[in-house]
Each structure stands twice: as C-alpha cells, then as structure tokens.
A and B are shown apart, each in its own frame.
Chain A
C-alpha cells in the first residue's frame, strides 16, 4: 500500500514511522526544506519538499499511483484542497483531511471529503475514560449504519451467569468478542457471561437501545 502524507511536526513523523514499520510505502510532502532534510535522515520514507496543494508537487510525489492521501497540515483550507486535488485530478481512491477546527469535519464531509477532528477524538476519549458508565465505547462504522459498542458487565447485569445462547438478543445483533482478564474470547453459544467481562457488541442503530438494555438491564 502506498500512502502519501502531507503535513509537518510530530504527528507526521510518528505516523510515517508507524506506516513504514507496517510495510507501507510512505511518501511525505512538507514545505519546509530543513524539516525535509531531518525527515529524510530519520525515516525510510520518500520526502518531497513543496506545497502539497500544488498539483505538480502531488504528481512528483506519485499521487497517481497512491492508495491513500492523508492531509494533516495545520491549515484546514490546505487539507481540503489537497484531498480534492488528489481525488479529482489523480483519482486517489481514499483521501482524509484533518479538520483543525472541529466544525470543519462536518464541512469537509458535506463537500465530499472525508474529514476527522483530533479535538473530537481526544475529547470523546477523555469523556469515555472519565465517565463511570458501563458503556465505554461507541464507534459508528459503515457510514453510521452499524455501531460497535464495548460494555463492561456489572454484577447486576441480567446476562451475568447466563450462556450466550440463552440470552434474549434482538434480531441483527452480535456479541463479537468477550474480553476476560485481558484475554479476548470469541464467544460461542456455550460461553458463560461473567461480571467484569468486557463485551463488544455489533448492533444496527434501530436495535441498539434494546440490545444495550438486554446487557445492562437499564433503560437507555
């Protein structure tokens, strides 16, 4: 997989290092010549020095054959234009733009570019860690048509002590993984639910509430 990353700073450095370690072919575009020299010394990635929102620079960096373009500069307008050029001019199948202003994540989506906000992500992480709710994670996938939720079973959960096959689960819901003592278990019908289990549920938005109720006993 060939990934093109436009940006600077530590996020760029660590992302590139991670992707290279996974065996991806990484190309970096950065507009600061000194940082480019540093990056090319520290990383195995190819470094192109220039403005990532310039079509010629994207072409030099091999945008034509890239599988993904990631725009993480500190300027939202640059991130938007980089992704639009990459997908419209170079037919890059996947582009992602960092929205520095969290409001712009939605703006990008409306303009046809997939956007994400680190403020949102970090904010929700803090909320999850800080809250004492049993539900620790909610991740919408498939453009929001599927939810992945992680819940911790407490002593008073109605499913504790039951076999998975005996749980009255609504249609179209799946218990994907049970994490017990830090070990993940792929549950079968004969798996018993225990207090303290972290259960990963896959639900559809229409039955999300009833499924959670079946596991927590609470009305949500």
Chain B
C-alpha cells in the first residue's frame, strides 16, 4: 500500500482524530476539517498535516481543503447527513477516487449504496460483532456443559 496519498478527513472527533494521527504517522498528507476549532487538540503532537476550520457542507471550505486533489476522503462527523452530503459532493463534483462515509443509521445506508457511496455503519458492525460473540459464547457454553 502506498503511503504518500493526499487524504481529507472531515470531522475531528474521536474517530476522525484517530484516523488522522494514524494516517499522518504512516506518511500520508492529511487535511482535517472540523467546524469546532477546539477539537483539533485531539491531534497528536507529531501530526504533520493541515487543519481547516469550517463547515464542510460549504463548497468554499472544501475548496480550501483542496478536496479536488485528494486521493481519499473520509467523512466521520457525528451527523449522518453531513457525511452523506460531503461524500456525494466529493465524489460527484470533486471527483475524489475513493470516498468513505460513516453512517449510523443502517436504513440510510441502503439508499447511499445505490448512489455508489461507500458507507461504514458502526451500528451494524457493532451489532454483528455482538451477535457473533453471543453466538460463540452460547456455543462455548453448550460445549462446556453437554
């Protein structure tokens, strides 16, 4: 995997800052966008990328972050609709080759899968892992007490 890509991360919360620190450390050029400036404090001291303070649903902010040059855009804000809008704009208007959006509501995911937006749904992922653990746990107990 190449490690010199230009990556834009929208939202600098727990997930966004984690991804930004990690991807920056592994040698990528990272730009983080968040509308609350204090969230940038979650970036680690060795984060070498740029911070853009602004609302990513505004074209001017995306242009400032040079989204048109990005190889990857990851939308991680806590609002599904912001992520979905930014992802569509990045893909449809700025022609970003790889766009990912976090979407909490699994029902919204179907519609966006049809639109060609790659979404990751933490709710579904967590549910699957819990169900898996429950199933294994049950099987384990069954094995232990025949």
Contacts and interface: CB of A to CB of B under 8 A. Distances in A.
B127 interface: no
A74 to B, nearest CB: 11
B114 interface: yes
Contacts of B105: 54
Interface residues of B, number: 21
Contacts, number: 54
Contact of A76 (B80, B85, B111, B115): B85
B125 interface: no
Interface in B59-91: 59-60, 79-82, 84-86, 88-89
B108 A101 contact: no
Interface stretch (A35-43, A83-91, A166-174, A191-199): A83-91
Given A54-B105, A85-B111, A103 B58 contact: yes
A80 B108 contact: no
B101 to A, nearest CB: 11
Contacts of B57: 75-77, 101, 104
A111 B92 contact: yes
Size category of the A interface is 20 to 34
Nearest to B77: A77
Given A81-B81, A88-B111, A111 B58 contact: no
Interface of B: 57-60, 79-82, 84-86, 88-89, 92-93, 105, 107-108, 111, 114-115
A110 interface: yes
A216 interface: no
Given A101-B59, A103-B60, A104-B59, A110 B111 contact: no
A89 B111 contact: yes
